[in-house]
Amino acid sequence: SIQALADGLYQPARDGRFQFNDETGQLEVTQSSVSERVLDVAATLSRMESQVFDAGNRVVPISFDTTPARYHDAITAAELGITRLIATGDSFYVGSSQARIANILLATSRFDGIIVPPGAEFSFNQYVGDISPEAGYVSSRIIYGGRTINGVGGGVCQVSTTVFRAAFYAGVPMTERAAHAYRVSYYEQRGEGPGLDAAIYVDPDPAQALDFRFINDTGAALLIEASVFPATSQIQFRFYGAETERQVVKDGPIIRDVVPPAATRYEANAELTPGQQLQVDIAAEGAYVEVTRIILDTNGNEIDRDIFASQYQPWGAIFQVPPGDARLTTG
């Protein structure tokens, strides 16, 4: 039927992706937008009726209605209220495996150039999409079920941690953020210290998923740029938008209730021979960590204060050893 044809030919709109040129103050398209395309059933039927008795020409051109995407290629920074860089977030992944780095590169690319509308809620999981081999992710180390295991997508939380830091320094309100189960050394490299990480877990069941979310309360559109700098093992998120007349001050981290790492555990691995061992998890101290974000106006008066609390569990090292190893009964 013509309606079935219409359903098959429907094309949803897709926003373009952009970068902000700091010298010109203009947007540059990095990925073209796609207009919504809907079959015009009435016009197409009319064309079919007019051609049905024309034996010499039985080809009927299909008629479409098209609507540009909300953020189409010709949109300008001025239209969106984007005037300047308002915040950056950085993290470092020194020491990561090649598989973890591959996942970091892929996940970061999902966010580069997106625009968050004014007043809208940003969802990390919405943009990162499916974390699966089909989506291009590979197996690396992930935290799952009370321990570190090999799983698809290890390293994606490095990306959610970095966008969390940009949102922290942008002063935007956050609606969902979860700390990791234990302190992860990657997230404490080069300055920030503990307490500024954001764990995510993509799951079809909302009750099982962990997301990172914030509200764009800047009064204008928010452009997110995301880059990876392999030479320094660095991820950076940059938020461009309107002048918010807010200053953000980080206070902390305050670390207390430090708990020694849990006892080392040993597991049997039939692929190992006597004398061999394989470390599959590392030890980490437990602690309560608190970071405070103080938001000031242009005169230095405090207008808001948020406390980001993280309860990290003590973590024990885990070694795999051959069956029959004495440590399996004493460890």
The residues facing 18 across adjacent strands are: 29
pLDDT of res. 139: 61
pLDDT of res. 44: 64
Angle value at C-alpha 131, between 95 and 143, nearest 5 degrees: 50
Q: Looking at the whole model, is its pTM more than 0.75?
A: yes
Contact 255, 210 (CB under 8 A): no
pLDDT of res. 181: 86
Largest CA distance in the chain: 90
Q: With the CA atoms of 218, 219, 221 and 224 taken in that order, what torsion angle do they form, in degrees rounded to the nearest 10? A: 0
| Span 96-118, pLDDT tens digits | 888 889 999 999 999 999 999 99
pLDDT of res. 158: 93
Q: Counting every residue, how long is the chain?
A: 331
Alpha carbons 123 and 100: distance in angstroms, whole number: 22
Alpha carbons 212 and 207: distance in angstroms, whole number: 14
| Span 163-199, pLDDT tens digits | 999 999 999 999 999 999 888 888 888 878 899 999 9
The residues facing 39 across adjacent strands are: 64
Contact 68, 49 (CB under 8 A): no
Could you tell me how far CA 214 lies from the centroid of its own chain? 12
Which residues does the chain have with pLDDT short of 70? Answer: 1-4, 6, 44, 47-58, 135, 139-153, 280, 330-331
Considering only CA atoms, which of 216, 214, 244, 221 is closest in space to residue 86?
Answer: 244
pLDDT of res. 316: 83
Give me the long-range contacts of 304-308 (CB less than 8 A, separation at least 24). 304/171, 306/174, 308/168, 308/177, 308/195, 308/196
pLDDT of res. 129: 83
